[in-house]
Chains A and B, each alone.
Chain A
Amino acid sequence: MPATGAAKPEAETARAETDSQSRLQTPAGAGGGPRPLADGRQAKTIETRDVNLFYGDFQAVAGVTMTVEPNKVTALIGSSGCGKTTFLRSLNRMHELTAGARVEGEIALDGQDVYARGVDPVAVRRLVGMVFQQPNPFPTMSIYDNVAAGLNLNSGRMKKAEKDEVVERSLRGAHLWEEVKDRLDRPGSSLSGGQQQRLCIARAIAVEPEVLLMDEPCSALDPVATLAIEDLIGELKSKYTIAIVTHNMQQASRASDITAFFNLEETGKPGRLVEIGPTEKIFTSPSQQATEDYVSGRFG
């Protein structure tokens, strides 16, 4: 259940569940364009239960049971190879895009199993958007078309005026509108790294996802651009559920509400969730020694 807001009337709850289910099962591009952002819309909860992730015979992640809470930023931290990015990618069914990859366990979006039979993975990825480590705008596409790309894929035909509105709203939401409003026809690659990453965030939120996953979104950015993205993350959480993988522990402590620490006992063993809790607790008095050693930089 979302942590905020009063209980909804039963009829409304039923409608919301039906809506969420139908969004999961709607094949990509089969109409049902993005809904206007309704103020007061509730972000979604992701719950995982005993998730095990494999690349062929190699088990990368073992037994992860955790909740990504709505309207909060959850940071996934841990040393390289501990499985945090693999876990993140499993939340929107991107893990299975790798040959030989498979998933065991349950991953539910507001109670709906995203791996259930009949669920369209493309629909899952529309509800659970992803921002990657390297800003990856389509280089030859204009800034406008970069943002509209997801709309074109997901919504079929959309009136120009309507699309203009979504592009502007998304660029404003990504704190980029004022910087690019006079050059929307320029290529996305003409922007700075930080602007490109905000463009990618605008592209991700244009299709109105319910969850945003971010895989080290600032690792290729300078400190000023990094802080701009962190500020943006802080604002986006009022509308979305956010999970972010980061190697930057200060970023985790600055930008997240909840921190999950992943670790692997030794090379070749699967990564496990060691501890999850309020960020301030993880960084002031974690309950596990392994967490203490990692956040203190005493590992290795």
Chain B
Amino acid sequence: MTTGVRVEYQEELERLEASALGGLDMVSAALSRTLEAIEHQDVELAQVVVADDDRIDGRYLEVHQALITLLATQSPVATDLRLISALLHVLKNVERMGDQCVNVCKLIPLTGNEPPADEEMVKMILAMGSQTKALISQAKRAFADRDVELARDLVVQDDAVDVLNRECFRHALQIGDDADRREWAMTMLLAARAIERIGDNAVDIGEQVAFVVTGLFREFEDASHPSA
């Protein structure tokens, strides 16, 4: 609850945080539909996800503009400034996650009307998606609760997604010599890669949680210099 002075400003900041984090719910819903479209090769549902991405982009633009207005008019500093900076990052991540769902859904018509070439690979991608949805939910909770430990745990949870992604890759390599099956597998690899990136975006949000709380920005994992 907001008390003291600058009440309207504080309430506006709280509203914008809720709105930005609400973007993660929209992404989670888009990912659910994306996974359903993959599972059932549902081209219409995939088109809905593509069209619905405008709503996620709209949320990005609306909250982004309002945050810029707060920066211009309220001179936020200290925790407020860090929060606004972090929310701008979160928004960008939300927008990118939405785009990854679109990327996957645009691939679905390319997989044809035949049953999936390999049920095992579909299962792996659905498992990746399910784990990634949990990551999105965890990132949101960590941010809302300013829970750095929960945020750091995203790295551990994301490892499971990465493992499944590599498993998909190995599976695709062994899919056989049939040209159609190979093309299907390549398309599914692109989908797996997009979902894996959504998981990375969730970890990025966790890094912003640590920044808001501690004032220090550190990548949880340095992709350029991975530890041995």
Which chain A residues have a beta carbon within 8 Å of chain B's beta carbons? 249-250, 253, 283-286, 291-292, 295-300
Q: Are B77 and A253 in contact (CB under 8 A)?
A: yes
User: Are A299 and B75 touching (Cβ within 8 A)?
Assistant: no
Contact indicator A284/B4 (Cβ below 8 Å): no
Bound form: Cα–Cα A284–B77 in Å: 6
Partner of B76, one of A286, A291, A296: A296
5 closest Cβ pairs, A-B complex? A285-B215, A283-B77, A300-B5, A292-B78, A295-B77
Contact indicator B5/A295 (Cβ below 8 Å): no
24 A–B pairs (Cβ distance < 8 Å), ordered by A: A249-B75, A249-B77, A250-B75, A283-B77, A283-B78, A283-B81, A284-B81, A284-B82, A285-B214, A285-B216, A286-B78, A292-B78, A292-B79, A295-B77, A296-B77, A296-B78, A296-B80, A297-B6, A298-B5, A298-B6, A298-B10, A299-B4, A299-B5, A300-B4
- B6: chain A residues at CB < 8 Å are 296-298
Q: Across the interface, which residues of B come within 8 angstroms of A292, CB to CB?
A: 78-79
Determine whether the beta carbon of A285 is less than 8 Å from that of B78. yes
Given A297-B6, A299-B4, A300-B4, are A284 and B78 also a contact pair (CB < 8 Å)? yes
B53-88 vs A, CB cutoff 8 Å, 1 = contact: the mask equals 000000000000000000000011111111000000
Chain B residues lying within 8 Å of A284, measured Cβ to Cβ, are 77-78, 81-82, 215
Least CB distance from A106 to B in Å reads 32
- Chain B residues lying within 8 Å of A283, measured Cβ to Cβ, are 77-78, 81
Assembly CA distance A83 to B48 (angstroms): 64
In the complex the two chains form, is A297's CB within 8 Å of B215's CB? no
Q: Which residue of A is nearest B10, CB measured?
A: A298
- What is the bound-complex CA distance between A283 and B81, given in angstroms? 9
Docked pose: A291 CA to B216 CA in angstroms? 18
B81 partner residues in chain A, CB cutoff 8 A = 283-284
- In Å, the complex CA distance between A295 and B79 comes to 10
Residues in B with CB closer than 8 Å to A286 are 78
Contact of A296 (CB < 8 Å), options: B79, B214, B215, B216: B79
Chain A residues within 8 Å of B10, by CB? 298
B78–chain A nearest beta-carbon distance, Å: 5
Give bound CA distance, A8 to B108, whole Å.
74
Distance in angstroms between the alpha carbons of A284 and B78 in the assembled complex: 4
Query: Which of B4, B5, B6, B79 has the most chain A CB atoms closer than 10 A to its own CB?
Result: B79
- With a cutoff of 8 Å between Cβ atoms, the chain B residues found around residue A253 in the complex are 77
| Chain A CB within 10 Å, residue with most, of B9, B75, B78, B215 | B78
B75, B76, B216: most-surrounded residue (chain A CB, <10 A):
B75
For B80, what are the chain A residues with a Cβ–Cβ distance below 8 Å? 296
Min CB distance A109 to B, Å, is 32
Kindly list chain A residues whose C-beta atoms are within 8 Å of the C-beta of B78: 283-286, 291-292, 295-296
Bound together, the chains give a CA A292 to CA B9 distance in angstroms of 16
Complex Cα distance A250/B6, Å? 17
Question: Given the complex, which residues of A lie within 8 Å of B75, measured CB to CB?
Answer: 249-250
Residues of B within 8 A of A291 (CB): 78
Chain B 1-20 residues near chain A, CB threshold 8 A: 4-6, 9-10
- B178 CB to closest chain A CB, in angstroms? 58
Expressed in whole angstroms, the Cα–Cα distance for A193 and B179 within the complex equals 82
> Which of chain B's residues has its CB closest to A250's CB?
B75
Separation of A296 and B6 alpha carbons in the complex (Å) = 9
A284 to B211, CA, bound (A): 11
A78 to B216, CA, bound (A): 26
Within 8 A of A (CB), among B79-109: 79-82
Please, which residues of chain A bring their CB within 8 A of the CB of B77?
A: 249, 253, 283-284, 295-296
Q: Nearest residue in B to A295 (C-beta to C-beta)?
A: B77
A275 shortest CB reach to chain B, Å: 12
